[in-house]
């Protein structure tokens, strides 16, 4: 058995639902799959002693899950006052409209199409509900609208799908772009170095207790994959599927469609930087 401490980011073991930091509690959605890992992590975030809470990513449209999130907050003496989205993929956002009905809250997101209410989210915004301080960090790449939320008091960052608790994420071409994603990882690395961020609260998978190690692993992984894709093209692969078959040969074939999205993003990046010829 591999010690979790030796894995990238030092993932925590045990049950995923429950308190993760002083201010953040996870309620795991019942939507496990190869892409969502154990399911979507729905985060309840609140300042200690406050009666108000913020929910990040209500998750899928599952009535039982949405009510479980509300019940978890209420058992802690909290009223949910605001809903935030890290990005618009259904496993994170599909339940947002119904959740807003149940909680009578606004939904704030970067994408105007996902918002309910007058306010959106923009880089540099600070969420202050109930005395909380949570800063909006732009982390596009997985999708064009991906955001992370920096929780300074807990030295933590909620990363959505930008950094997962296990494995690596998909750059969902064409909306997701690899250049943007690499910039986002570097931005997160700066938070670990300059702002003392230690903990990753991901959109899927376990909490990571070594944020810098996790981001460094992601950057190294992307560099390695880019080199592999470039080599595959040099070896005669002419289509994204051919590249997937060579580079991701050891990956479960059920994940190849997702891998193809990332390969398309990598090919675009390599072409944009003049490392391979036009497709």
Catalytic residues: 91
Q: What are the angstrom distances between the C-alpha of 48 and each of 45, 153, 197?
A: 10, 11, 19
- Rounded to whole angstroms, how far apart are CA atoms 163 and 171? 11
Give 42's strand partners: 27
Rg (CA), the chain: 19
Looking up tokens 């729905």 gives 42
Distances (CA, A) of 133 to 46, 48, 130, 165, 199: 9, 12, 9, 23, 16
Strand order in the sheet with 126-127: 126-127, 134-138, 147-151, 156-160, 199-202
CA dist., res. 49 & res. 61, Å (int): 30
Read off the tokens for 201: 């609260």
> Which backbone phi and psi does 101 adopt, to 5 degrees?
-65, -45
Give whole-number Cα distances, 272 to 12, 61, 224, 278, in Å.
38, 38, 18, 9
Give the tokens for residue 217.
């692993």
């Amino acid at each position: 058995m591999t010690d979790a401490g030796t894995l990238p980011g030092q993932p925590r073991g045990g049950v995923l639902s429950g308190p993760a930091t002083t201010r953040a509690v996870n309620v795991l959605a019942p939507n496990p799959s190869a892409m969502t890992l154990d399911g979507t992590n729905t985060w309840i975030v609140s300042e200690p002693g406050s009666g108000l809470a913020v929910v990040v990513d209500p998750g899928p449209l599952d009535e039982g899950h949405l009510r479980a999130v509300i019940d978890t907050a209420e058992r802690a003496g909290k009223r949910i006052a605001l809903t935030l989205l890290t990005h618009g993929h259904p496993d994170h956002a599909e339940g947002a409209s119904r959740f807003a009905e149940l909680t009578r809250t606004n939904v704030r997101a970067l994408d105007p199409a996902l918002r309910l209410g007058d306010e959106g989210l923009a880089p540099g915004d600070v969420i202050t509900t109930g005395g909380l301080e949570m800063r909006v960090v732009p982390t596009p790449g997985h999708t064009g609208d991906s955001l992370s939320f920096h929780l300074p008091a807990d030295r933590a960052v909620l990363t959505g799908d930008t950094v997962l608790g296990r494995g690596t994420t998909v750059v969902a071409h064409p909306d997701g772009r690899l250049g943007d994603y690499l910039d986002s990882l570097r931005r997160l690395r700066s938070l670990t170095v300059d702002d003392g961020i230690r903990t990753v609260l991901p959109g899927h998978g376990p909490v990571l207790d070594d944020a810098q190690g996790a981001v460094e692993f992601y950057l190294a992984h992307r560099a390695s994959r880019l080199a592999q894709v470039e080599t595959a093209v040099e070896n005669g692969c002419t289509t994204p599927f051919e590249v997937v078959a060579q580079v991701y040969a050891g990956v479960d074939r059920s994940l190849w469609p997702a891998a193809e999205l990332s390969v398309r993003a990598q090919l675009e990046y390599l072409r944009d930087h003049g490392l391979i010829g036009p497709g």
